[in-house]
Chains A and B, each alone.
Chain A
Amino acid sequence: RKEVEQDPGPFNVPEGATVAFNCTYSNSASQSFFWYRQDCRKEPKLLMSVYSSGNEDGRFTAQLNRASQYISLLIRDSKLSDSATYLCVVNIAPGGGADGLTFGKGTHLIIQP
């Protein structure tokens, strides 16, 4: 079983739509959770951390379900510029060291005009 699993997509959605995708992780000892965004041929950039209580940043909402071991990302009022690959990242290291980071393969999102 893969450590961090995501639907690769692509998800094609019209501009202005709301889109959500999930990620599941296998290690129950995972300590921290993130969504990163990666544009084509570019480095990943942190989109947001994911907290147990759920958190929102503008049009983006992240949720964590520890019991079911999944993380979700919701994007409202999608923009053309949201087109990217979204990486689910889980850290199993207690201190949060990067050697504990595990990346999903990413979900490819395409926003259509």
Chain B
Amino acid sequence: GAVVSQHPSWVICKSGTSVKIECRSLDFQATTMFWYRQFPKQSLMLMATSNEGSKATYEQGVEKDKFLINHASLTLSTLTVTSAHPEDSSFYICSTTGGRLDEQYFGPGTRLTVT
């Protein structure tokens, strides 16, 4: 299956700052990548679908101006949390299908804490 990496693994930042999270597909050219968010003891929730070379598609309730997604190459998608607030503290995970429809390959996740 596809191998997906994410950086950083965890980050602590102050309220009002912006944080960029990178998601890389190491062995698969991913035209589409997905960004999820998971709050403690909650489900993974799809935030947006990142499309290489075009605009991301955001799920209802997710602010596109706050969560900036850039998918400039087939192996890299970035999520920037702008003007972060404590309520943005969460576990952010990216994934790709690796070319299969029935399986998602997840990155190791990024734990964001906003103080």
Contact = CB atoms under 8 A, between A and B. Distances in A.
Interface in A89-109: 95-99, 101-106
Interface residues of B, number: 23
B95 interface: yes
A43 interface: yes
A45 B3 CA distance: 12
Contacts, number: 53
B41 A8 contact: yes
Contacts of B101: 95-97
Contact of A99 (B43, B44, B49): B49
Contacts of A46: 103-104
Contacts of A49: 102-103
A98 B95 contact: yes
Nearest to A32: B102
Contact of B49 (A8, A45, A96, A98): A98
A75 to B, nearest CB: 21
Interface stretch (B11-19, B62-70, B82-90, B105-113): B105-113
A1 interface: no
A4 interface: yes
Q: Which 6 A-B pairs have the closest CB atoms?
A: A96-B101, A43-B106, A103-B43, A103-B44, A98-B34, A105-B43
Interface of B: 32, 34, 41-46, 49, 57, 91, 93, 95, 97, 101-104, 106-109, 111
